[in-house]
Amino acid sequence: MTHYFSPEDHPTSQARSFTVRLGDRAFQATTDSGVFSTSKLDPGTKALLDVVPSPPGTGTFLDLGCGWGPLSMALAAASPTARVVGVDVNPRAVELTNANLKANKLTNARAHTVEDLLSSEPGFEFELMWSNPPIRVGKKVLHEIMRTWLPRMSPTGTAFLVVSKNLGGDSLHRWLQTEMGYAVERFASKRGYRILQVRPPVSAE
């Protein structure tokens, strides 16, 4: 059995298109079977977009677990001179994100599979990350995802994660802070979701 968070082949295509509002702008989007939230913007991503600060004008921004691309599109539209990088283990999600970016004429963003990005840019670093991480992969895999990507945050960077309170938002907060040493704040709580702001560990003087 495959899941939207796995790289294996996915079910037969059942594409659908709709208009989605991300922040104060409407976008055209196409989704498909085998990716996360195929019929609408999921409530966690909406909760994140409702409260997250506007991104800076420049820098490299990461959309971790891009799915069909709503966060990549929102970042690219808000900061047209920044570089936006979407990443996902699911090749169908990567294809959809790139198609949606092209359909909305967002030329400063591109999605990649995890393997392709890390092999082509082993020193990849970001200043800002927005992510609705795949909590249902389980704690062990989720922690490995965080260990892979958060160390690539620049010394002055920040990450915003949205996690359901009932699916471990508070435990992820504690783990990132106490075991990994990151500076973590509960930036907001909205509709049963925690929006966590994560900054690099404070080095001891």
Q: Is residue 35 part of a domain?
A: no
Q: Is residue 188 part of a domain?
A: yes
Q: Is residue 9 part of a domain?
A: no
pLDDT in tens, 157-199: 999 999 998 877 889 999 999 999 999 999 999 888 999 999 9
pLDDT in tens, 17-49: 999 999 889 999 999 988 988 878 999 999 999
Q: Is residue 121 part of a domain?
A: yes
Residue whose C-alpha is closest to residue 180's, from 160, 202, 163 = 202
Cα distance between the two ends of the chain:
50
- Expressed as residue numbers, the domain containing 161 is 43-199
Question: How many domains does the chain fold into?
Answer: 1
Predicted confidence at residue 11, as pLDDT, reads 59
- Of 5-19, 76-90, 94-108, 153-167, the range with the lowest mean pLDDT is 5-19
Residue whose C-alpha is closest to residue 49's, from 29, 69, 19, 31 = 69
CATH code at position 51: 3.40.50.150
Q: Is residue 26 part of a domain?
A: no
Other CB atoms closer than 10 Å to residue 24's CB: what's the count? Answer: 7
Q: Is residue 82 part of a domain?
A: yes
Q: Is residue 38 part of a domain?
A: no
Predicted confidence at residue 149, as pLDDT, reads 97
Q: Is residue 195 part of a domain?
A: yes
Mean pLDDT score of the chain: 91
